[in-house]
Amino acid sequence: MTSVTAVNHPLVKHHLARLRDGETPPAEFRTLVQRLAVLLAYEATKDLQLAEIEVQTPLTTTPGQVLQQRVGVVPILRAGLGMVDPVLDLIPDAEVWHLGLYRDEATAQPVEYYSKLPTASPVDVALVLDPMLATGGSAASALAALQRWGVPTLKLLSLIAAPEGIAALEAQFPDAQVYVCAIDDRLNDQKFIVPGLGDAGDRSFNTVPTDS
């Protein structure tokens, strides 16, 4: 079964409350997304494998450890872009591969419009970045693409999730790992997460329609 971890931490709850607030301006919203992405990435990378090395300090040599696996950071465009930089700050040698997916509002199904995944030499661990796990359609498409590439370990990092999206991934990707800041109540009739935080892409990039 898919491993689902809801990160239970005071800082997560503190930043998430402000993120949900409809009055939070885009600049602050982006900053909050970055802070939460760091906390998610910290939790999601606890099991990365290490290699032993010898380090020369100013005084002597001492054993050390460095990351052994190739890590791929895979943001789902466009909202996932806001989570990339803080994860790269933690793993500066990670590879970044982009996937463009949007939800058809009529069918609520994902539509792929861009893919920058190679066909050979897959990374060892992929961190898929998508702020919201709603129906699970976009996340499932991304995980499927990474499976076709041959990535053995798949991890999805989302700020909030709906139970319906988690159930969809559990049915399709039993070996995947999901890390979220909160699991919300449900999806509404328009397939938006409730209570949610609105559209993460629009709120991040200040593109909320003026007539909404």
Domain boundaries, the chain: 3-50+63-205
Catalytic-labelled residue, pool 89, 107, 175, 185: 107
Task: Assess whether 153 carries a catalytic annotation.
Answer: no
Question: CA angle 145-146-151, nearest 5°?
Answer: 155
Please tell me the predicted confidence (pLDDT) of residue 207: 87
Instruction: Count the neighbouring beta carbons within 10 Å of the beta carbon of residue 207.
Output: 11
202 is catalytic: yes
The CATH number that domain 3-50+63-205 falls under is 3.40.50.2020
Which one of 5, 21, 70, 202 is the catalytic residue?
202
Q: What is the per-residue pLDDT for 211?
A: 45
60 classed as catalytic: no
C-alpha–C-alpha distance, residues 46 and 7, integer Å: 13
Residues of the chain whose pLDDT is less than 50?
Answer: 210-212
- The pLDDT, as a whole number, for residue 114 is 76
Catalytic residue among 20, 70, 103, 124: 103
Which candidate, 99, 47, 97, 48, places its Cα nearest to that of 70? 48
Q: pTM to 2 decimals?
A: 0.91
Provide the pLDDT for residue 210.
Answer: 45
Dist CA 72 CA 52 (whole Å): 22
pLDDT of residue 97: 92
